[in-house]
Amino acid sequence: MASRKEGSGAGGGGFGAAKGKGKAATTGDSAVKQVQIDGLVVLKIIKHYQEEGQGNEVVQGVLLGLVVDDRLEITNCFPFPQHTEDDADFDEVQYQMEMMRSLRHVNIDHLHVGWYQSTYYGSFVTRALLDSQFSYQHAIEESVVLIYDPIKTAQGSLSLKAYRLTPKLMEVCKEKDFSPEALKKANIAYENMFEEVPIVIKNSYLINVMLWELEKKSAVADRHELLSLASSNHLGKSLQLLMDRVDEMSQDIVKYNTYLRNVSKQQQQKHQYQQRRQQENLQRQSRGEAPLPEEDINKLFKPPQPPARMESLLIAGQINTYCQNIKEFNAQNLGKLFMAQALQDYNN
């Protein structure tokens, strides 16, 4: 993942959301139940990846729009520019200020309502994305992150999903306590870390008429091209990434088991110390001497630091995403197989 750009998303989210917080709140205070995206925004996101996304490089940008009742309307967007670590003079906050100021001058929606990011084989459940979305959502409650999957889209089906952090996870992130006890108390599991918001893509009637005319005029060389069963290494790559995450999960399990063994070992040491202390006091009492002064046993035996469990939850969530991708891929290929067989029977 492109952590340098994900980090910039977090910083930009804090600024942009803070600028538009009061204005966005006046449009509606209810929770977002639907995301409505203009078709132009979708095309801009796709174009951004096609121009700057290479391999596993992640592209990101800012979403602009407004909140109407329980619907978040995304009407515009602009990308984060590509830059390297050598561009020390580049100020992302200043860049966003100038972009939103320019949009405001031409009377275009300029309120910050979230951000978007491309993904590489569904590898988006990361700590960087969690921190960035928390920054946005903490400043503007209605903020969402759009995840665009160019690999699935290239197979003939637009893959664009909107996510938000659940209220439980927001509370845990505010406390910044990711210990096993805190996550257990909050009842946080990988299934309830993110919530998906339904997306509706909307175009004006004139654009729909134009698309209809273009579709009639376009010449398709092979209308059965989408029925191809070629996987383009999609299944193999997804399985490889899944195995990598399973290995990471195994390492986290080993760390946690080591922590449990250390805790058990320390409890035994505490018990032995207390027994020796009690026997020594009994001997002193039999000699008519005063018992030893009481000591804070927690200072003598400092409990081992529990490993943070948030990374394990994120890995579990990523494993679930890979499994869903593989399941969808197999279902699509099975559907293509049935369609191809039906076409063959029809032609015969």
pLDDT of residue 147: 94
pLDDT tens string 91-147? 677 777 787 777 777 777 768 899 999 998 888 888 889 999 999 899 888 899 999
pLDDT of residue 225: 54
Q: Is the pLDDT of residue 321 over 80?
A: yes
pLDDT tens string 24-53? 333 334 478 899 999 889 999 999 998 887
CA dihedral (186, 189, 193, 194) positive or negative: negative
pLDDT of residue 343: 64
pLDDT of residue 341: 66
> Which amino acid would we find at residue 265?
K
Distance of CA 341 to the CA centre of its chain: 39
CATH of 34-82+90-228, one of 3.80.10.10, 3.40.140.10, 3.40.50.970, 1.10.1500.10: 3.40.140.10
pLDDT tens string 189-199? 888 889 999 99
Taking a C-beta distance cutoff of 8 angstroms, is the pair 59, 4 a contact?
Answer: no
> Whose CA is closest to 130, among 229, 224, 35, 6?
6
Taking a C-beta distance cutoff of 8 angstroms, is the pair 195, 162 a contact?
Answer: no
> Whose CA is closest to 196, among 131, 246, 125, 245?
125
Q: What is the 3-state secondary structure (H, E, C) of the chain?
A: CCHHHHHHHHHHHHHHHHHHHHHHHCCCCCCCCEEEEEHHHHHHHHHHHHHHCCCCCCCEEEEEEEEECCEEEEEEEEECCCCCCCCCCCCHHHHHHHHHHHHHHCCCCCEEEEEEEECCCCCCCCHHHHHHHHHHHHHCCCCEEEEECHHHHHCCCCCEEEEEECHHHHHHHHHCCCCHHHHHHCCCCHHHCEEEECEEEECCHHHHHHHHHHHHHCCCCCCCHHHCCCCCCHHHHHHHHHHHHHHHHHHHHHHHHHHHHHHHHHHHHHHHHHHHHHHHHHHHHHCCCCCCCCCCHHHHCCCCCCCCCHHHHHHHHHHHHHHHHHHHHHHHHHHHHHHHHHHHHHHC
Rounded CA gap, 149 and 117, in Å? 9
Q: Is the pLDDT of residue 9 over 50?
A: no
Q: Give the residue with greater pLDDT, 154 vs 90.
A: 154
Rounded CA gap, 194 and 320, in Å? 12
pLDDT of residue 20: 41
pLDDT tens string 200-257? 998 888 877 877 777 776 655 555 555 555 555 777 787 888 888 888 888 888 888 8
